[in-house]
């Protein structure tokens, strides 16, 4: 696992227990994989003129705890004990502000593209490691914690396959 230090994080509320894993998808520009742009977004160095889509992201301060690339490589941007800024306006089981109690995992992909085998393998391994460390975690998609606002990880994410791999 590669470790990068995103500046977009802060402390969780005192005494907050991590109880949720939120799965996202991301590609920058949308539908394009590889390249430096996801990293630049999470590190706060994305140049808004590098692509027309990026103008709408100017000044955005977001991060995730982890990114899983198409080849299955794993990058940590924020230590899981800290609060990454991945879920935005969100709620889970009646609780708002999911960033307070969740870990965010971005899987490089898009709503209209299947995910790669190495990504499922890395996600399953990471999930088991996180549950070994933090105890049982609820697992949800970004679309589950921000319905109507977000659609990821999207219809191509194979929830049955993933859940079978983490048992």
Q: Which domains does the chain have, with CATH numbers?
A: 2-7+17-165 (3.40.80.10)
Per-residue confidence (pLDDT) for residue 167, from 0 to 100: 86
Of 136, 144, 159, the closest CA to residue 90 belongs to 144
The catalytic residue among 106, 108, 117, 129 is 106
pLDDT digits (tens, 9 = 90+) for 66-79: 999 999 999 999 99
The answer to pTM > 0.95 is: yes
Quick check: is 106 catalytic?
A: yes
pLDDT reading at 83 higher than 90? yes
27 vs 38: CA distance, rounded Å: 7
pLDDT digits (tens, 9 = 90+) for 1-44: 999 999 999 999 999 999 999 999 999 999 999 999 999 999 99
């Amino acid at each position: 696992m590669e470790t990068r230090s995103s500046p977009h994080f802060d402390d969780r509320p005192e005494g907050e227990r991590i109880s949720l894993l939120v799965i996202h998808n991301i590609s920058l520009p949308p539908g394009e994989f590889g390249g430096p742009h996801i990293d630049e977004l999470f590190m706060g160095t994305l140049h808004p003129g590098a692509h027309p889509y990026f103008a709408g992201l100017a000044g955005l301060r977001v991060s995730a705890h982890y990114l899983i690339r198409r080849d299955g490589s794993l990058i940590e941007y924020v230590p899981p004990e800290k609060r990454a800024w991945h879920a935005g306006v969100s709620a889970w089981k009646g609780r708002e502000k999911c960033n307070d109690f969740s870990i965010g995992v971005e899987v490089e992909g898009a709503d209209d593209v299947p995910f790669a085998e190495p990504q499922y393998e890395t996600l399953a391994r990471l999930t088991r490691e996180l549950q070994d460390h933090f105890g049982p975690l609820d697992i949800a998609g970004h679309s589950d914690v921000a319905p109507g606002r977000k659609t990821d990880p999207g219809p191509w994410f194979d929830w049955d396959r993933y859940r079978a791999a983490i048992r």
